Chain A
Amino acid sequence: MKKKRDSVLGMAFFGPALVLLIIFLFLPMILTLIFSFTDFFALNPGLTHFTGLDNFFQIFKDEDFRKAFINTVCFVVIIVPLQGLGSLGLALLVNKVSHCKRYFKVAFFLPVVMSLAVVSTLWVQIYSPEGILNSVLSNFGIPAQPFINSASQALPSIAVMSAWQGVGYQMIIFLGGLQAINPALYEAADMDHATAWQKFKDITLPELKPLCIFVFITITIGAFRMLVQPMVMTGGGPSHSTYTMVYDIYETGTVNWEIGLASTMAIVFAVFVMILTVIQTVATRDKEEGNVNKKTKKK
């Protein structure tokens, strides 16, 4: 009887969330999968045909999609180490300082709570040809850089800005991890006259490893979803150098009304990110196990 009452109560709590999830998450996911095999056109849904794998062939032939794919991967390759190592470095520094610790924590975290659109608009000014960054550079005798107005510099410029915006979040996670490390480990290392680097390499890093995996995966997935920055700062240009996959999906679906094609892109994108995440998880897990084995061997 109690069991039944519990399950009713559980359902009452879980039910509304389940309904919302079904309507706004699972149903759209299934529909996207179905649409990806059709030529669904938003302005004329009545004329939808099943087109098999046509869309998949079409998007891989499409130069814009390939470019968007490469841009996205490049962005991920730049931002993951930048933001990941940056947040770890900041966390170590903030953890070390004895004064104004709270100030630094807040200061580095502040950009995270700001809207990405606002941050992007702000950085458009910073990166502008006569903006603050070029003024600073000119003081060091460096000629003015085009930054987001150049096909070669736009993507790295956006990556730096995005890392600056997001780094505080991962810093807080690492900071939590650092503070949870048992101080006795460091005391023991001190007794063995370990250097700072040895302590970092043999205590801090292994202790933070589970967090590192989490941080790197979240940064990777977040980076793949990049849309707001190029939309606000460059419109995907110059010469499509900041056109990302999500931007392509958005434009194909809403501007060109090709819901079928956009769904195919979304499916390919989701599968790609999923595969990458699995690889990342497996690779880091293997290493972890490898390390454990190495340690046991050493012992």
Chain B
Amino acid sequence: MKKLLIAVLLPVIMAILLPGCQGKRPEPGSVAGYDEGEQYLSIWVHSIEDTDEGRCYRESVDNFNEKYNGKYFADIEFIPRNDSGGGYSDKINASVMSGDLPDVLTVDGPNIAAYAANGIIQPLAELEEDEKGEYLQSIIEQGTYNNQLYALGAMESSVGLYYNKDILKEAGIEVPDAGHPWTRTEFLDILEKLKPVMEEKNGYALDMTFPTGEATIYYYAPFFWADGGDFVDETGLVAEGIFNSEKNAGTVGYFKTLLDKGYMSKVPIDHLFESGRAAFKFDGAWEVNTIYNSYPDINLGVAPYVTGDSWSGERYTPTGSWAYAASSKTDNIEGATELVKWMSGVESGLLLWEKAKNFPSTYKAFEAIDTFQTDENYSMLYKQLSDYGHPRPKTPVYPQVSTSFQQVLENCVLSGAEPEAELGKSIERINAKLKRYKVQ
């Protein structure tokens, strides 16, 4: 009976397990375009091929293979990622265990620190100063952990303070230039002025929500940075006294004022800004394209992001997106770095803008795109990015920091909890997660 069981089970087990052993590098000729003498580089991206973004990645890899024909061959694999971040990251987690990581992979900007601290990615080969200088400062900062460059952004992004030009004109409000943003106290006065105007329109001065997930910290962290607050220290390993600082508690209180004074709705109302019932909205840079294409009746403007009362020109506006990094498993760091540079470089950036309207990560690409010179909204976002872009907190426990930030704002602003107490609770959770890195 035992023999019989083995006889039946063995072929089935083999059939299931054998395809899993394909982690080995393919031989030249076994993949179309991979010729004898070329160095093979595998690359994973967090997208499906049949999207504008996916097609751009495919085209960039094809261009790389053409340019480096005879030297390198990059083989791209598309791994879909769902909205909550699963899928792609599950595959990475599984590959960390099995040791099947590719040479190059995409990493979401805020996760770079965690991936670097846990040895999933390795520092890129040394870049020339002028090569580094091609990238926006925010891209270099995002990719740097412990003073070493680990990743280069596939694209860049930002959050704009969008306004309805017609409504502001009606209320007689002038928008300042990028170098002189409204301070948050000035912004309260503006909102107060807009309140009666918006009440007539059955709307609110500000379309603001605190969605779960990554959006809340991405949208509103500048309020904290611009007022001298922060979330973790430079090492990314200390949050005590920083995340729960008095300054941060004060900024949380500021958001509470926005609700208490009736400048924003307590419950999220769909398309409040897009339907002309809100004067301002904070949203990702994609909003410009959405408004242009889907809400042509809205006369859109981008104001400089609101800053702190004692701000003196420091970097504070949101940045960050997916980036390319070399995995710790690659033994060809030179080749992997070349591929990372190419995929994040000028040509790839131009492609991504053209097809998917994603912002590029190099100055040259921004300057080569007409829209960023001619369209005032896009040029404002570019100026904000290049002059004031600030990376999100660089810490290996970023997911906990991001979740805590959202909870603090939601609990304090919408449910009336005390900022100090909520920040205190968060710090306990963040510290619990940091323990792992302090032991190392």
Contacts and interface: CB of A to CB of B under 8 A. Distances in A.
Interface of A: 7-8, 11-12, 15-16, 18-19, 23, 39, 41-45, 47, 58, 63-64, 128-130, 146, 149-151, 231, 234-240, 251, 254-257
Contact of A239 (B118, B403, B411): B411
14 contacts: A8-B4, A15-B5, A15-B12, A42-B97, A43-B118, A45-B96, A45-B97, A130-B270, A149-B268, A239-B407, A239-B414, A254-B84, A254-B93, A256-B433
Given A239-B411, A239-B415, A254-B90, A15 B8 contact: yes
Contacts of A240: 407
Nearest to B213: A235
A11 B270 contact: no
By DSSP majority rule, is chain B's interface helix, strand, loop, or mixed? Answer: helix
B93 A42 contact: yes
A235 B410 CA distance: 12
Interface of B: 1, 4-5, 8-9, 12-13, 16, 84-86, 89-90, 93, 96-97, 114-115, 118-120, 211-213, 265-270, 399-400, 403, 407, 410-411, 414-415, 417, 425, 429, 432-433, 436, 440
Nearest to A125: B270
B270 A43 contact: no
A237 B267 CA distance: 12
A19 B267 contact: no
Contacts of A231: 84
Given A238-B410, A239-B415, 13 more contacts: A11-B5, A18-B9, A19-B13, A43-B93, A146-B266, A150-B267, A235-B211, A235-B213, A239-B407, A251-B403, A255-B84, A256-B433, A257-B93
Contacts of A47: 440
Given A7-B1, A11-B5, A63-B425, A254 B118 contact: no
A130 B272 CA distance: 11
Given A45-B97, A234-B212, A255 B399 contact: yes
B96 A42 contact: yes
Nearest to B417: A239
B213 A129 contact: no
Contacts of A149: 266-268
B210 to A, nearest CB: 8
A19 B268 contact: no
Contacts of A64: 429
Nearest to A63: B425
Given A130-B270, A237-B410, A12 B8 contact: yes
Given A129-B267, A130-B270, A255-B85, A235 B212 contact: yes
B415 A238 contact: yes
Closest 9 CB pairs of A and B: A235-B212, A43-B118, A149-B267, A15-B8, A42-B93, A44-B118, A19-B12, A146-B267, A239-B415
B86 A254 contact: yes
B12 A128 contact: no
A236 B212 contact: yes
B422 to A, nearest CB: 10
Given A130-B270, A256-B399, A256-B400, A39 B436 contact: yes
Given A11-B8, A235-B213, A130 B84 contact: no
Contacts of B410: 237-239
B303 to A, nearest CB: 26
A239 B408 CA distance: 9
Given A149-B267, A254-B90, A11 B16 contact: no
B89 to A, nearest CB: 7
A129 B414 contact: no
Nearest to B85: A255
Contacts of B97: 42, 45
Given A16-B12, A23-B16, A235-B213, A43 B414 contact: no
Contacts of B5: 11, 15
B268 A237 contact: no
Contact of B16 (A19, A150, A235): A19
Nearest to A240: B407
A39 B44 CA distance: 28
A239 B84 CA distance: 18
Given A19-B16, A149-B268, A11 B93 contact: no
Nearest to A15: B8
B433 A7 contact: no
A117 to B, nearest CB: 10
A248 to B, nearest CB: 12
A146 B86 CA distance: 30
Contacts of A18: 9
A44 B213 contact: no
A85 to B, nearest CB: 31
A207 to B, nearest CB: 44
A15 B9 contact: yes
Contact of A254 (B9, B89, B211, B268): B89
Contacts of A146: 266-267
B242 to A, nearest CB: 20
Contacts of A16: 12
